[in-house]
Amino acid sequence: MAYFKQLEDQLQDLLALCNKEERWLVVVNADPDSLASAMAFKRIIGRRVAEVGIAHINEVKRLDNLAMMHYLRIPAQKMIPTLVAQYDRFAILDSQPHHHPDFEGLKFSVIIDHHPLPEEAYPHAEFVDIRPKYGSNSAMMTEYLYNLKIRPAKLLATALLYGIKTDTQSFERPFIDDDVKAFRYLTKYADMDLIKRITRSEIHPDWLRYFSRAFYNLRRIGPGLFSHIGKVENPDTLVILADFLMRVHGVSWDVVSGIYEDTLVVIFRGDGLRKDMGKMAAKLFNDIGSAGGHKAAARAEIKLEALEDADPESFVLKKLTKGKKIVKRI
């Protein structure tokens, strides 16, 4: 019995898209899972096409992401029009075209993702593989490699293992057996010392002031916590704070918001048992911005101009409480 599910027919459809004369660009919203997936995709089609590039739509400032790209030698570039113009085909990994406006202008040949499907329309591409039950996209890409009899080299295996580790939050967020199988398989080839180096690079000393601000503004909303940080230099700071607050005893969900440039960014985290954070984010903010995610982790982004001069903190708080007075300062 095979260790992973059999994907031969599916992968033949993918490989049939490859042409030695064409250049491919893998587009991601850079985080460990998407970067690892991009590395795996590059390994799979790299010898079957003219070139494979990796581009990210976001500014990579989070220290663990930068450390990952450095130590694992991930050749990713910021996506700009002049870069896009150099490529013939495009693949999107660990995201779907509707997740960000920067994706919408590209015609994707390949979509491989593990996020929930949109309610309005199934994403269109020549090859689509979306499995919302998976805890990580890296587990899916590990199955691809295994089915193609490609043994991942040390840096690729390390990236995929780290992608699974971060997206499942070391298996504290929802996952399935396939994520565990992929993680176990990759441990044979990954460099755990590199994993330690990367994970120890998460918090910049300058970010400590945001922790102080988060504690000062902290509010209790039933079993949840909310804190508005104000202006931040990097939206990934909000992610780190939201993950940290989930460690508080008795808290089943939290929301951390802040202002990055001209955008209100709202990060949702949950225990995966009660509230569905992806549905919660979409219900609260999809009418005014982009919002969605998983049951245990989600995100919303709203342009400040859409708030019509409303105070961002009060705006988010009103949305979370639906106007009810159930807020307690801590």
> Which stretches in the chain have pLDDT values below 70?
1-2, 201-202, 323-327
pLDDT value of position 202: 67
Q: Looking at the domain 206-329, which fold is it?
A: Diaminopimelate Epimerase; Chain A, domain 1 (3.10.310)
Classified as helix, coil or strand, 6 is coil
Helix (H) or strand (E) holding 316: helix 312-321
Q: Tell me the C-alpha distance between 195 and 192, whole Å.
A: 5
Please tell me the total number of residues recorded for the chain in this structure.
Answer: 330
Amino acid letter at 232?
V
Q: Which token pair is 288? A: 């005014």
pLDDT value of position 16: 96
Place of tokens 């490699």: 145
Dihedral Cα 80, 11, 183, 243, nearest 10 deg: 40
Q: Which token pair is 67? A: 């450390």
Domain with residues 8-199, CATH architecture: Alpha-Beta Complex (3.90)
pLDDT value of position 326: 62
Instruction: List C-alpha distances in Å: 321 to 23, 189, 255, 309.
Output: 49, 48, 12, 20
pLDDT value of position 324: 63
Q: Tell me the C-alpha distance between 67 and 64, whole Å.
A: 5
Q: Which token pair is 272? A: 């995966």
pLDDT value of position 173: 83
The domain locations on the chain are: 8-199, 206-329
pLDDT value of position 89: 97
pLDDT value of position 64: 84
pLDDT value of position 104: 83
pLDDT value of position 294: 84
Q: Cα–chain-centroid distance for residue 34?
A: 6
For residue 113, list its beta bridge partners.
130
pLDDT value of position 130: 95
Q: Which token pair is 266? A: 């709202």
Asked if the domains 8-199 and 206-329 are classified in one and the same CATH topology, the answer is no
Number of H helices, E strands in the chain: 12, 13
